[in-house]
Amino acid sequence: MKLLNQFNFAGKRALIRVDFNVPLDKSFKVTDATRIRAALTTINKILADGGSVILMSHLGRPKGGYQEEFSLKHIVDDVAAAIGKSVKFADDCIGESAKTLAANLQAGEVLLLENLRFYKEEEKGDEAFAQKLAQLGDVYVNDAFGTAHRAHASTTIVAKFFQDRICGYLMQAEVENGKKVMSNPTKPFTAIMGGAKISDKILIIDNLLDKVDNLIIGGGMAYTFFKAMGGNIGNSLVEADKLELAKELIEKAKSKGVKLLLPVDSIVADAFKNEANRQEADNMNIPDGWMGLDIGSKAAKEYADVIANSKTILWNGPMGVFEMPNFAAGTIAVAKALVVATKNGGFSLIGGGDSAAAVNQLGFANDVSYVSTGGGALLEFMEGKVLPGVKALE
């Protein structure tokens, strides 16, 4: 794989796949520019070399054709502010405006193309569409790890039309940090899996059981385990069709010598809302009419102790409904324990999505080893799958 540092971009137009799928409010203002900032080191290196930059990305899930709320024109000012120079905008990603603007781009200039997903050919991985994109640049750079698990035209197919296919700094960091956890972890290695459903995490849990010393379970998925063990879980979330699977995972962990930690207690509520009545309950005996919405104080302490004494930690998924302040304590306790483990010389990888949001909201992003930008892509990487966007660069 060709890395950014191995290439001089002087006089070259670099076509870069970035992940600028950022959240916008009702007036189309960017509410979180993390993904834009994540691409800056790659963009700045190319500009410093004397190259020019053509940025391509998707935004949201448009239903074919132009849709105002998904136009990348709304983020031009944010991209310009982040880079510190003006950014040209093409109102198409393959038409005449894109071709003309790209052809006239001078060294040090930046062009942003319109949303790739306004063409259904993007997600279909259409070769003719990919070839039209390829005509805009001299070299191809992929820095969009968040979409690397999709064999789309701009993430995978376009690479075949370039002699120089280059891995951006963000993509490189994601792959290297992922490999550090999955291929060569310092022991003890603890994985923390949260979120609502076992079915979303079954493949990664299966793969992790061959690698970890401790597997911590939190979030809604925990109650399926307790139900499988014969517990009374009240109105807590349960996947009734996954009870046998939960039992199998418990047995598999035992047979592999993995310590499987389930939360002994929960903060339970009598309704799914922040203002609901709440109390602590043992997870084998949650009262009827009550539901678990966060791990309890005993579980939080046990988890924090295990995490703080670990040398490699992977965290994917919150411990409860952390967007409701009354049910955020478990997730906060886990985040603080990760900071402690990192200060003690451990390596901590936060796996995208809600976990990354929690760490960023709490202001801990600089106190852990690495916060991944790729939710689904990181999960598939951790499941041991080959990512098409990474393979296309090799």
Verify that 121 and 202 share a domain, yes or no: no
Pair of tokens at residue 141: 């750079």
Verify that 213 and 285 share a domain, yes or no: yes
Q: How many angstroms separate the first and last alpha carbons of the chain? A: 5
Verify that 194 and 227 share a domain, yes or no: yes
pLDDT, mean over the chain: 94
Contact criterion met (CB below 8 Å) for 227 and 233? yes
Lowest mean pLDDT among 139-148, 304-313, 365-374: 365-374
Verify that 91 and 208 share a domain, yes or no: no
pLDDT in tens, 307-325: 999 999 999 999 999 999 9
Please check the confidence at residue 275 and state whether its pLDDT lies above 80.
Answer: yes
Confidence bin at 18 (pLDDT 50/70/90):
very high
Pair of tokens at residue 202: 């079954």
Q: How far apart are CA 110 and CA 16, in angstroms?
A: 11
Verify that 347 and 238 share a domain, yes or no: yes
Answer with the one of 143, 170, 197 that is the final residue of a domain.
170
Domain assignment present for 313: yes
pLDDT in tens, 190-218: 999 998 888 888 888 988 999 999 999 99
Confidence bin at 269 (pLDDT 50/70/90):
very high
pLDDT in tens, 36-83: 999 999 999 999 999 999 999 999 999 879 999 999 999 999 999 999
Residues paired with 292 in a beta bridge = 268
Answer with the one of 115, 135, 170 that is the final residue of a domain.
170
Number of domains in the chain: 2
CATH number at residue 210: 3.40.50.1260
pLDDT in tens, 287-303: 999 999 999 999 999 99
Confidence bin at 361 (pLDDT 50/70/90):
confident
Answer with the one of 117, 135, 170 that is the final residue of a domain.
170
Verify that 224 and 102 share a domain, yes or no: no
Verify that 189 and 159 share a domain, yes or no: no
- What per-residue confidence (pLDDT) applies to 352? 66
Q: Which run of H or E residues covers position 341?
A: helix 329-343
Verify that 219 and 352 share a domain, yes or no: yes
Contact criterion met (CB below 8 Å) for 25 and 83? no
- What per-residue confidence (pLDDT) applies to 314? 95
Residue of 180 and 113 predicted with greater confidence:
113
Residue 277 makes CB contacts below 8 A (sequence gap 6+) with 269, 270, 271
Q: Beta strands 265-269 and 312-316: pairing type?
A: unpaired
* Segments forming the whole domain that contains residue 45: 2-170
Residue positions annotated with a catalytic role = 35, 197, 353, 376
Domain assignment present for 176: no
Domain assignment present for 392: no
